[in-house]
Amino acid sequence: MKRLYHIFPVLILLLMMSNLSIAGSYRIVLKGKGVVQGDYVLYGWDWGTEYAIDTVSARSGKALFKGKCNLAPGTYKLGSIDGKKILEFIVPRNNKGFSIGFTLKEKGFKVNFGGNRENVLFSDFQNLLNYGWEEMENKEDFVARIEGMKEKASKEFPGSISDIIFRNTLTTPENAQQIRENFPFGDTILAHTHFIGDKIGQYLKILQYNHNDTIRKYVYDMIGSGANSTMKGKLAHSAYNFFYNSKIMGQEEIAVNIAQDWFLNGKLEWPDEEGKFMLRTFVEFNRHSLLGMEAPELNLIDTSGNAVSLHSLDAEYKIIYFYTSDCATCRKETPELVDFINGYSQGPLAVYAVYADNNVEKWKDYINSELYIFNPFMNWVNVYDPDYGSGFQILYNVIKTPQMFLLDKENRIIGRGLSVGALKELLQARNTQRDKLRSLIEGYFSPIADDTTAIREGIETLYNISRHDTALCKEFVDGMYTSLRMSDEYALGEGAVLVAQKYILGMPQMWSSRYVEKAREHVRRFNMNRLGSKAAEITLERVDGSSIMLSDITNEYKVLYFYRPNCGMCSMVTPKMAELYNKYKGNLDIEFVAINLSGSYNEWIEYIGESNAGWENVRGIEGESSPIYEAYWLQEVPAIYLLKDNIVVAKEINDLDLEEILKNIIQ
């Protein structure tokens, strides 16, 4: 075998020459007698950011730029040293050495050699925009010229930078899809153009007024269109920054999603380690409390040393307010919040006010001096975390104070990062929407309030109208459930139970666990001794220790009055009940049965003496653990039932309702 060692030096030389060729170069000439003078700069763009490549001084009406590096495909600018733009040109794809010459005139310029035909078209376009329009007689001629250039670029240079520019010139996009169809975000050639950043910004600004799910879909489609990981990374980075800085509440969720789905999982590289640390920090402090999420539970300590659960507060809306006593912004916002709460009258509201420091004495002094709540319909709870063990700072992004969140009745976050002004606007908007929906529902069911079949059909109709949109469906279901449940018409109350059973208990995945449990409690309560059903049998104990069953009392009508001796409301209702008993005690068809639910025997006897009523007074045999609670809903007392022949004809009524009913019965 012949060994050709002597050929190796030649091969090495050829390879070196080849590499020099691949490295490329550029030569750009700008000339114009009497026009080209002074210093000129060659500019390029990296993802919309301008940077200087080269600077030369003109000599004898000529400026020459030349270098031994390759110019990446993209758009470039020649400008004067004072920053005035002279002209732009295009470096085409697959460029391995670029040469072009321009002749600069008083108005405009022309390509006099090199480059490619695409630059000739691009120069005509610039001249038309800067000067040519002055010679146009009307707007139609101008548009026609642009359309002609657009058609030429599409036919002769499909997919080129000029084609992209013309496809997006004189066009105001109506929606994001229109931009997406005309602008190839993922094309690597766009990385070195002046317009990529502006176009992404335009795209995202149009998108930002959509629901987050829609935004995410379009943004991820844009990122995924990147021709390589570098391009994908640039697109994802731009989108992250846009939504990180968004002023629209809730759009930090998109930034969190981008960080988690594209960068923190290693799919794409973040530009630098310091920035990546800040990215992780942002995600960690926001991912637990995004809009639409169930608010993380907090069990913090109140001024009496008792733990209070955030989720246990019962209200239509809940406000979580993190504050300190010496924060300058808190000193402005806290009094405004207190004033707003004291004047609020659009429904039950709860405030979970979290002192974000741990100086207990200072906190209590601040509560006494600044947090005076006199609105009887508001529930303001003051709590703090003595050892910061709850991690509320991370759970709720409490990097600074104040920080305010708004929750709905399901403990779902519907507002975050709120000021008092923003809170007012959000509550007003939601209450207006709520009232309109309830008015619609009440108007829909009012004409059929006594028609059980029509009510069932109406519920099904309203559900079917909204079921294709989860958020709208929940609004309709909750609106039906609340409106029907609050109605005085029994048939509509039955409708509320149907809604609860079919669309809340039957679809628990749509609702929070607390909302489902409250609906279950309501259904159980409604179904206990339903109107028209036989009253549940219970065994009771008389004062002498003997037992009696409810059915042993044979009067046609029986009034059951459930009370507790130590109940403040009962002490106010008992005299009225005694008055009604004395009024009707001569009527053998009516018997009043007062049923004690708690307390010792002596307390019971004392209460009987104080009430001065001669009615049948009994108690549950096993006290508060009596099976009576399995048969009658007695979580709230006093509770009044009316039976006829042991059939329930009225339940959970008040003393005034009872008086009216008895008046109609006994003529």
User: What pLDDT, on the 0 to 100 scale, is given for residue 652?
Assistant: 87
How would residue 141 be classed by pLDDT, with cut points 50, 70 and 90? confident
Position 9 pLDDT exceeds 60: no
Q: How far apart are CA 159 and CA 156, in angstroms?
A: 10
CB 297, CB 311: distance < 8 Å: yes
Identify the weakest region by mean pLDDT among 6-10, 47-51, 205-209, 662-666: 6-10
How would residue 126 be classed by pLDDT, with cut points 50, 70 and 90? very high
Position 254 pLDDT exceeds 60: yes
Q: How far apart are CA 104 and CA 31, in angstroms?
A: 6
How would residue 201 be classed by pLDDT, with cut points 50, 70 and 90? very high
User: What pLDDT, on the 0 to 100 scale, is given for residue 16?
Assistant: 40
- 516-549, pLDDT tens digit by residue? 999 999 999 899 899 999 999 998 899 888 999 9
Position 333 pLDDT exceeds 70: yes
**What is the percent of the chain where pLDDT is above 90?**
70
How would residue 10 be classed by pLDDT, with cut points 50, 70 and 90? very low
User: What pLDDT, on the 0 to 100 scale, is given for residue 3?
Assistant: 44
Compute the average pLDDT of residues 248-270: 95
Compute the average pLDDT of residues 13-31: 61
User: What pLDDT, on the 0 to 100 scale, is given for residue 87?
Assistant: 94
User: What pLDDT, on the 0 to 100 scale, is given for residue 23?
Assistant: 52
CB 599, CB 576: distance < 8 Å: no
pTM above 0.85, yes or no: no
User: What pLDDT, on the 0 to 100 scale, is given for residue 567?
Assistant: 87
Compute the average pLDDT of residues 359-372: 94
Residue 304 structure tokens:
């009496």
- 283-310, pLDDT tens digit by residue? 999 999 999 999 999 999 999 999 999 9
Q: How far apart are CA 273 and CA 327, in angstroms?
A: 33
Biggest alpha carbon–alpha carbon distance for the chain? 136
> Closest Cα to residue 310, out of 514, 447, 62?
514
Compute the average pLDDT of residues 401-407: 97
User: What pLDDT, on the 0 to 100 scale, is given for residue 622?
Assistant: 55
CB 540, CB 579: distance < 8 Å: no
Q: How far apart are CA 151 and CA 123, in angstroms?
A: 16
What are the start-end ranges of the E strands in 258-361? 299-302, 307-309, 317-323, 349-355
Task: Classify residue 538 by burial, with Cβ atoms within 10 Å: 0-12, 13-18, 19+.
Answer: buried
User: What pLDDT, on the 0 to 100 scale, is given for residue 623?
Assistant: 47
Position 484 pLDDT exceeds 70: yes
CB 534, CB 647: distance < 8 Å: yes
Dihedral pair phi/psi, residue 484, rounded to 5°: -70, -40
Compute the average pLDDT of residues 466-490: 91
- 383-397, pLDDT tens digit by residue? 999 999 999 999 999
Average pLDDT, the chain: 90
Q: How far apart are CA 283 and CA 248, in angstroms?
A: 18
Q: How far apart are CA 207 and CA 325, in angstroms?
A: 40
User: What pLDDT, on the 0 to 100 scale, is given for residue 505?
Assistant: 96
> Closest Cα to residue 257, out of 234, 279, 227?
279
Compute the average pLDDT of residues 595-600: 87
Position 76 pLDDT exceeds 80: yes
